[in-house]
Structure 1
Amino acid sequence: MSITFAFWNLEGLPLIGAMVRTILIITLGFPLLLVFARLGSSLIMRHFSEHLALIFRKFVTYFGSLLLIITILLDFDFNLSAILGTAGIASIAFGFAAQTSLSNFISGIFLLGEKPFEVGDIVLIDNTLGYVLSIDLMSVKVRTFDNLCMRIPNQTLIQTTFTNVTRFPIRRLDINVHVPFKEDIRRVFEILREVADANPYSLDEPEPLILLQEYGDSFFKIILGVWFEKSNFVAIKNSIMMDVKERFDREGIEFPVPHISLYAGDSTKPFPIQWEQVEKLQAGMGNRPVPAAKAE
């Protein structure tokens, strides 16, 4: 019995030839596929984005693995038409049950084309803030700041309003500052501007925003907005609030506290209230109430 090597064919030994080719596919085909996926994703990451690189790597790995498996099955003379026919019937039933998955897949393609965020961005979704870990065709995974992994279906992201906190290199931090009516508002503006200019994390351009937003019940409501690089969020939030408090203390400016003023009309004049503390109840008063306050 002669053995003739002609490309993939081993004449006379079809079963052994199929086994040899299967071993070659497993030992060479799959590793080469992974190397190609890795090199391709590296090039895409270098010229485009990590988002596209991740999608490319997964697509090449899954699709290439499927082709190699089909090649192995054909080598062993599997009847793929029967398998595909059965799979077609099953896919119809499966399609009705997988409508949500299909919707997530299509939404993932839209996210891939729109690119509202990338891996590593900080996003705010439904009052949850975290880093984007991965962007898949079915879902997006986010790591929150308390180190929890949150999986968000792509369909939810398409239908939900979310915020990309780190999309741009600089941001503005707005702080509400309440000042009593008795204070000189122009002097307060000058102090807040000096505090913003002195902060090491505050950018000179754009200039800080100082806005008298509205009148409160007993105070001015002022907004102090400072621009900063997105990586300095925690540092500037802590430092700018401490700087305002320390500067107000030095200037003698008090933060307002909630209080209520009672008004009984023009005919009634204000009268003082003097509180008296009864140190000892006299014997014989029994359970009769003891007046604790009187008007002068």
Structure 2
Amino acid sequence: MNIAENTADTAQQAANVVQADVQNQVTQSVTTLDHLKDFLLNHGPDVIYAIVIFIVGRYVARAFKNLAVRMMTHANYDHTVITFVSQLIYYAIMALVLLSALNKAGIPTNSFLAAFGAFGLAVGLALQSNLSNFASGLLILIFKPFKAGDWIAVGGVEGSVKGIQMMNTAITTKDNKTIFIPNSSITSSQVTNSSYQQERYITFFFDIGYQNDHHKAIALLKQIFREDRRVLNADTMEIGIREFAESSVRIAAFPKVAKENYYPVYYDTMSKVKDTFDANGIDIPYPQRVIYIQKNEQ
């Protein structure tokens, strides 16, 4: 009998515990629903406004991004700068939209702004030189003093631009070496772009001996340039005596050619001038010194 009573008591206690647990869960659920109801009643309109701000702001950010892409494409900007600037505009607007939505929903954003400001300051101090290269690369991409494929000279390096990156510019030299130059060094240095113009002038200096007829030499040079169809100004080209040097008469000539013909015309002309001068008895003198020896008679 005692065993049956103990069993009944244990079952009753278990039932009481289960009942208490259920009542507690129901109470918590009711309390949560009450809090949710109070939150919706107090902040529901603000939450809806925040969602609307986020959705509309997202469409506005996309619209500004697409507008920037169209404008830069019409202005013939490089594809790299179009992609970078359009993404930068999109995320900058979205950051403002997100902060506005959170603020409208009642979530304080001052702490976010302070944290982002401190983080940005720390990153800026740590990456000062890299940020300078980054900003310089962006300026190069926007203002386009040169582009990929152009032949440039900067900081004692001359070669073809292989690629413009955010931190540096890769230049392939004539001996097929690739040199990476920091963008900040390029924007603070003088850059010579030989491919910027469609036509280029070749500067020639030809030395002949003082005993040679310079009129004949100039006539032969004009004939050489007229026979080369790649020379665009053969009839109006500037040519004449540049100076009387120590051991030669120096003749200057400035033929104009298409930029892709610069070096072919240069090398061909040098070879033709040597052959023509040799065939017509015109000397290309070595540096000379005339020494007078005075003999003292005792």
After TM superposition, the score normalised by the length of structure 2 is 0.62
Is the contact made by 1:207 and 1:227 (CA closer than 8 Å) also made in structure 2?
no
Going from structure 1 to structure 2, the CA distance change for 1:223 and 1:149 (only over 3 Å counts) comes to same
Runs of 5+ consecutive residues of structure 1 not aligned to the other structure = 1-32, 72-78, 269-296
1:281 alignment counterpart: none
1:173 alignment counterpart: 202
How far did 1:225 drift? 1.8
Runs of 5+ consecutive residues of structure 2 not aligned to the other structure = 1-61, 99-106
Going from structure 1 to structure 2, the CA distance change for 1:149 and 1:42 (only over 3 Å counts) comes to farther
Q: CA deviation digits over 1:32-80, x for unaligned, max 9?
A: x9xx99xx979955x33352x221123446777997xxx9xxxxxxx9x
Is the contact made by 2:225 and 2:234 (CA closer than 8 Å) also made in structure 1?
no
Of residues 248-257 and 136-145 in structure 1, the stretch that sits farther from structure 2 once superposed is 136-145
Provide the C-alpha distance between the structure 2 equivalents of 1:193 and 1:266, rounded to a whole number of angstroms. 48
Q: CA deviation digits over 1:261-291, x for unaligned, max 9?
A: 21135989xxxxxxxxxxxxxxxxxxxxxxx
Is the contact made by 2:81 and 2:142 (CA closer than 8 Å) also made in structure 1?
no
Q: Which amino acid aligns with 1:253?
A: I
1:54 alignment counterpart: 80
Sequence identity (%): 23
Provide the C-alpha distance between the structure 1 equivalents of 2:272 and 2:152, rounded to a whole number of angstroms. 28
Q: CA deviation digits over 1:116-166, x for unaligned, max 9?
A: 222222111123222223334433222223333222222212210110101
Going from structure 1 to structure 2, the CA distance change for 1:202 and 1:212 (only over 3 Å counts) comes to same
- Residues 1:129 and 2:158 are matched in the alignment: yes
How do 1:234-273 and structure 2 match up within 5 A?
234-265=263-294
Task: Give the structure with the higher percent helix.
Answer: 2
Provide the C-alpha distance between the structure 1 equivalents of 2:149 and 2:215, rounded to a whole number of angstroms. 43
How do 1:1-296 and structure 2 match up within 5 A?
47-51=74-78, 53-60=79-86, 88-204=117-233, 207-265=236-294
Going from structure 1 to structure 2, the CA distance change for 1:110 and 1:256 (only over 3 Å counts) comes to same
Find the residue that maps to 1:232 and give its secondary structure. helix
Task: Give the structure with the higher percent strand.
Answer: 1
Going from structure 1 to structure 2, the CA distance change for 1:157 and 1:206 (only over 3 Å counts) comes to farther
Is the contact made by 1:207 and 1:226 (CA closer than 8 Å) also made in structure 2?
no
Going from structure 1 to structure 2, the CA distance change for 1:42 and 1:89 (only over 3 Å counts) comes to closer
Is the contact made by 1:219 and 1:256 (CA closer than 8 Å) also made in structure 2?
yes
How far did 1:181 drift? 0.2
How far did 1:87 drift? 5.3
How far did 1:230 drift? 0.3
Going from structure 1 to structure 2, the CA distance change for 1:151 and 1:50 (only over 3 Å counts) comes to farther
Q: Which amino acid aligns with 2:76?
A: S
Provide the C-alpha distance between the structure 1 equivalents of 2:80 and 2:234, rounded to a whole number of angstroms. 36
Is the contact made by 2:163 and 2:169 (CA closer than 8 Å) also made in structure 1?
yes
Provide the C-alpha distance between the structure 2 equivalents of 1:259 and 1:164, rounded to a whole number of angstroms. 37
Going from structure 1 to structure 2, the CA distance change for 1:237 and 1:205 (only over 3 Å counts) comes to closer
Which protein shows a greater Rg? Answer: 2
Q: Which amino acid aligns with 1:180?
A: G
